[in-house]
Structure 1
Amino acid sequence: MSTKPVPNMNDEPAPAGSVVLISPTNEVLMLHRVRTASAFPSAHAFAGGKVSEEQDGRVPPPGDPRRHVDSRAYRLCAIRETFEESGVLLAKDRTGQLVDLPEATRKKMRVAVHKEEVKFVDWLKEIGAEPELDALIPFTRWITPPGFPKRFSVQMYLYLLPLDYRGALDPEHDGGLEHTQAELAPPTEWTARALRGDVIMYEPQAYILAVLGQFLTGPGDYAAQRAALSSWLWRMPTGKTDHYTAQIPWADKVFCPVHVGTTASGKEILAMEPAGPELEGQGRGGDHDRVVLVNDWVQSSRHIEVRMRDEVEAEERAAGAAPKSRV
């Protein structure tokens, strides 16, 4: 979600679904978008894409607040797009095991689904499989701020592959249609790369990875890491202040990042609590406790980090820069 928008105030956010896929060793899958992509070129992102009415079903129309709420269409979209973009099929067979397709079949069907030569759910039925809709954990929604040439309302989900998963986990890009690389790495490693500017990342990815990195810390007791994450996901309140967003569960949080100031060192400060104009007055929102700092486009890199708001405020006061920021 670039901080340099192009005015286009009437663009309705397109419904989309995305999966934060977590491997048995608690690594997160990221895809490197092609530099010619119409949205977020050259960025690293989670698997996902726009809801297709033909493939996934309908979402409520613009103006209906239910348009921005988790539903079957969003879930099916997220699973279908994950398969198209990475080859990882989140569907179980009649025995309750995740389907493990031969490589040739997987490649063939990824193309067929992408071209809409077959309907995804119909193909799954043919092979005796069901999409893992109930295994998706809703974890934040992101609405592109107004003023962008393309806007999205993206329902994010976590999917944790079983620790004893023994199927082939060899995600690969889609041949250059939308991505040039698929890679698994610990959340902390992705966060470090984004801070260094080694990869281009935007607010949703940077925020989610920073939060997950509190629990999924790398080699160690993967089960204990997941247990800590699971406990935190359902804990209320979700923040340490009395801000209203602390009373919103992670599954229902909505983020529409907004510029609120600049640090003494010149980094842009983005607040994470607004839900966006489409949801104004509905009591929805994101996270008041954290902000995102962006050093936008330094030598073709976008250095981005997630920080606690009170820490940034303290640093700005120490630097005598409080008047420059509304953080």
Structure 2
Amino acid sequence: MSNTNGNTKLRFLPTGSSLHKLSALLTLLLLILAFSFTSPAFLSVNNGLTVLLQTSVIGLLAIGMTLVIITGGIDLSVGSVLALSGVVAGLAIKAGVPVMPAMAFGILAGAFCGFINGLVITKLRITPFVATLGMMMIARGVALQLTGAAPISRLGEAFGQLGNGSFFRIVEMQANGFPKVIFPGIPYPAVLLVVMALIGGFLLQRRQIGRHIFSVGSNEEAARLSGVKVDRTKIWAYTASGALAGLAGMVLMSRLVTVQPNEGVMYELDAIAASVIGGASLMGGVGSISGSMIGAFIIGVLRNGLNMAGTSAFIQQIIIGIVVIGAVYIDQIRNRN
């Protein structure tokens, strides 16, 4: 706190631990190095683009999750909201709505779920864990009810463009008349992830809403006394998380070229893991979008490398769980110090 000309102002340093972020980056580089020895194909261009594509959904969820965690909250509903957003878009397309507006409806549905989360947490004073757990079940139930638990297919080629298209794809026609892919191109989801990460980082570090998010997570009462609209800030963070979950749903369902109401199960845990590995503190007040992106790629590289090594999905979950526990332990040590 500082007093200037009789006005009370609160000064915050909205940056996470640089050391934690550096250690996460070092971990990512070591993983890449280790997996490059286990499989020669790991460092290929095609596999690199595959990692980008696979990480895009978790990365988008992690951006929203980071905003929420910095406020001192948690959002367990993002996986179910992802599925519900896809269902809304799929049903809109089936009703004759063009693909782009239908996807916009899906993202708005996700934002609405996040907005409800924020209202329940701030106005009803229900803890974020319980409120978002309830939304997780509600959103999943609505998605299954609307579809009868059946996938929505035959949505047209345009629906698959977002998830399967790419920039700078180079295809060469061979003498035999068959095309040969020279460069598969940079996937649209990867570009979308970069754009959203830049926007999220800019809002968090350069705009007033970012300063308010950090202040609420650092000391909610001090933030309120300093004039920060705490409830509005929390609602904004949860709405942004819901909207990004909706966007992630559009990317994932587009990749599948079909809407699966059962998709997104356990994705919220991957998003939380990515944020924590990247330096976000579950106590609130600490975190960064860049750190969360590093965390998302650690999970993506781990999964990809272990898949190429023939490791079972069950063992992968165990390894990622150990990594998350280690990251939280480091965070606790940092908080004690």
TM-score (norm 2): 0.28
- Higher percent of residues as strand: 1
Q: What TM-score results when the alignment is normalised by the length of structure 1?
A: 0.29
More helix by share: 2
